[in-house]
Amino acid sequence: MSPAVAPRLPWLGRGRVPLYLAPMARHTDVAFRSVCKSHGAEVMVTEFVQSEALLRDRAKSWEMVDFTEAQRPMGVQIFGATPSSMATAARMVCERLRPDFLDLNFGCPAHKVIEQNAGSGLLRCTPLLYEIVRAVREAIPETPLTAKMRLGWDVDSIVAPEVAARLEALGVEAIAVHGRTREQGYSGSADWDRIAEVVRAVRIPVIGNGDLRDGPTAVRRVRESGVSALMVGRAALASPWIFREIRAALDGDPAPAPATPELRWRTLLDLAEQTLARADARLGGRDIRWMSAKLQPLTQGLPHCRRIRDGLQRCRTLEDLRELARASLAETPAI
Ligand SMILES: Cc1cc2nc3c(=O)[nH]c(=O)nc-3n(C[C@H](O)[C@H](O)[C@H](O)COP(=O)(O)O)c2cc1C
C-alpha cells in the first residue's frame, strides 16, 4: 500500500512519523504548548472552542485559540452542531489567525457538549456531522481541514472507518482517531486494532491517539496500525519530555536518561513563568494560585509528591514556588 499523503499538510505522509500534542481543554494553552515544543512536540492543536462562542466575539474565546508563530504548524479546533455557525466560525478563525489547518471536534464525550449534539454526540447523528463538514469545507477552501474523532458512540456502534471514508470524500485532509468510544470516556484502553481499521479505510493520513506513554509502545503502535502520525495527550501533562523519548525510539536512537527531579522542577517553573507572563491582570497580577491545577501533573514522580502538591496549593507567588523547588531539591538524595 502506498503511504497516505496530504499535499497541504506537508509534515504528514513523507515517511517520517510526526508527533502531535493532543488538544486538552484547560491545559494545552500557549504556555504549555511552548513547553512541549521545547521537548520535541512537532504539531499542535488548540483546545476546542465552541463555534457560537467565537461568533459572539468574546475576547476569552479568542484567547483559547491563540498561538504564536513559533508554535506552527498549528491547528485551531472548533466544535458545534450547527452547520452555518461552524462554517462562519471556521471562516473567522482562518481570516484572523491563518492557522496551518482547521480541526473539527467529533470526539468530546462531556455531557454538556453531547447534549447539544456536538463533539462525540455527532457520531450517533452522522447525517448532521456530514452536513457540518460540507459547510465548513465550502467556507474555507484555502485552509487544510482535519477532524478528530472517537471510534463511535459505544462498542455496538463503531462508525470510525465508515465516517472517515466519508470525511475523506468530503475533502477532509487528515483524521486523528482516539481509540475509545464515547461510552468509554477515558476508561479501559484505547483500541489500536480499530484505529488500524480506519487506516485501511482511507488514503489520507490517520493520526493515532490513545494511551501512548513510552517509546517502545509508540514504535509498536506505528508498526501494527500503519498510522502516519502519533498524538500524545495525558502523558505529556506529566512528562512533556515524552516527545523526545518517542522520537528517539522511532529513530532507533538510545532512550534519553529518565527525567530527574531537577528536570521536573525546571519544567514546572518554566510553565509557571510562561503562564504568568501571558496571564492578564484580571487573573490576579502576581498571584499564581489559580494555576495550580495546570502545574500539578508535573509533580508526578517527584519524591514526596503528595506533600509537594499540598505545598503547591499554598504558593501565592513565583518566589514561593521557587522556594518550594529549592526545599524539595535540597532533600532529594543526589542520584
Ligand atoms: C483534560 C482533557 C481535556 C481534553 N480536551 C480536548 C479538546 O479540547 N479537544 C479534543 O479533541 N480532545 C480533548 N481531549 C482528548 C485528548 O485530546 C485525547 O484524545 C485523549 O486524552 C486520549 O489521548 P491520551 O490517552 O494520550 O491522553 C481532552 C482530554 C483531556 C484529558
Concatenating the DSSP letter of every residue in 219-275 gives HHHHHHH--SEEEE-HHHHH-TTHHHHHHHHHHTPPPPPPPPHHHHHHHHHHHHHHH
Residue 117 has, within 13 A of its CA and on its CB side, a CA count of: 10
Q: Does residue 283 carry a pLDDT above 80?
A: no
Do 269 and 258 meet the contact criterion of CB atoms below 8 Å apart?
no
Residue 94 has pLDDT above 90, yes or no: yes
Residue 1 has pLDDT above 70, yes or no: no
Which of 198, 229, 251 terminates a domain? The answer is 251
For the cut 90, the answer to whether the pLDDT of residue 161 exceeds it is yes
- Cβ of 47 less than 6 Å from ligand 1: yes
**Whether pLDDT at 282 is above 70:** no
pLDDT at 166: 98
Residues 213 and 247 in one domain: yes
Mark whether 112 and 225 lie in a shared domain.
Answer: yes
Distance of CA 240 to the CA centre of its chain: 12
Q: What gap in Å lies between CA 258 and CA 241, rounded to an integer?
A: 10
Residue to mutate, 195, 206, 213, 234, ligand 1, most ligand atoms under 8 Å from C-beta: 234
Catalytic annotation on 36?
no
Give the H or E element holding residue 43: strand 43-45
pLDDT tops 90 at residue 333: no
Closest residue CA from atom 30 of ligand 1: 24
Q: Which atom of ligand 1 is nearest to the CA of 232?
A: 26
Which of 77, 79, 178 to mutate for ligand 1's pocket (most ligand atoms within 8 Å of CB)?
A: 178
What is the predicted pLDDT for the residue at 15?
83
pLDDT of residue 19: 98
Model confidence at 111, in pLDDT bands (50, 70, 90)?
very high
**Structure confidence at residue 279 (pLDDT):** 86
Same structural domain, 188 and 292: no
State whether 86 and 201 are in the same domain.
yes
Residue 280's identity, in one-letter code, is D
CATH number of 241's domain: 3.20.20.70
C-alpha 122 to ligand 1 mean position (Å): 17
272 in any annotated domain: yes
Helix (H, G, I), strand (E, B) or coil at 50: strand
Return phi, psi of residue 23, to 5°: -70, 130
Q: Is residue 187 part of a domain?
A: yes
Beta strands, E only, 46-178: 49-50, 74-79, 101-106, 145-150, 174-178
- Asked whether residue 27 falls in the same domain as residue 121, the answer is yes
Question: Does position 3 have pLDDT exceeding 80, yes or no?
Answer: no
pLDDT given for residue 284 in this prediction: 62
What pLDDT digit, counting tens, does each position of 169-221 carry? 999 999 999 999 999 999 999 999 999 999 999 999 999 999 999 999 999 99
Residue after which a domain boundary falls, among 197, 229, 251: 251
Q: Given 229, 251, 273, which residue is the final one in a domain?
A: 251
- CB-ligand 1 contact for 52 (6 Å cutoff): no
Average pLDDT of the chain, as a whole number? 95
Report field, pTM of the whole predicted structure over 0.85: yes
Cell numbers 508498526: residue: 223
* Cβ neighbourhood burial of 59 (10 Å; 0-12, 13-18, 19+): exposed
* Contact of 20 with 44, CB cutoff 8 Å: yes
Residue 39: pLDDT over 80 = yes
Please indicate, yes or no, whether residues 69 and 206 belong to a single structural domain of this protein: yes
Domain membership flag for residue 9: no
Q: Residue 311 has which C-alpha cell?
A: 505545598
Task: Name the grid cell of 203.
Answer: 488514503
Q: How many A from CA of 24 to the centre of ligand 1?
A: 5
- The answer to which of 37-46, 210-219, 284-293 has the lowest mean pLDDT is 284-293
- Mean pLDDT for 312-316 is 95
Same domain, 215 and 292: no
Residue 278 Cα, ligand 1 centroid: separation in angstroms? 23
Residue 245: per-residue pLDDT: 98
CB 48 near ligand 1, within 6 Å: yes
161 & 211 share domain? yes
Query: Which one from 108, 125, 305, 315 is the annotated catalytic residue?
Result: 108
Q: Ligand 1: does its nearest atom lie under 6 Å from the Cβ of 215?
A: no
Domain check: are 215 and 131 in the same one?
yes
pLDDT of residue 286: 84
Give residue 269's domain range.
Answer: 261-330
Neighbour-count burial for 113-140, b at 16+ CB within 10 Å, e otherwise: bbeeebbbbbbbeeebbbbbbebbbebb
Predicted pLDDT of residue 64: 95
211 lines ligand 1 (CB under 6 A): yes
Q: Structural domain tally of the chain? A: 2
Q: Is the pLDDT of residue 281 over 60?
A: no
pLDDT tens per residue across span 20-35: 999 999 999 999 999 9
> Is the CB of 105 within 6 Å of ligand 1?
yes
Beta partners for residue 90, in sequence order: none
Q: Which three cell numbers stand for residue 296?
A: 500539578
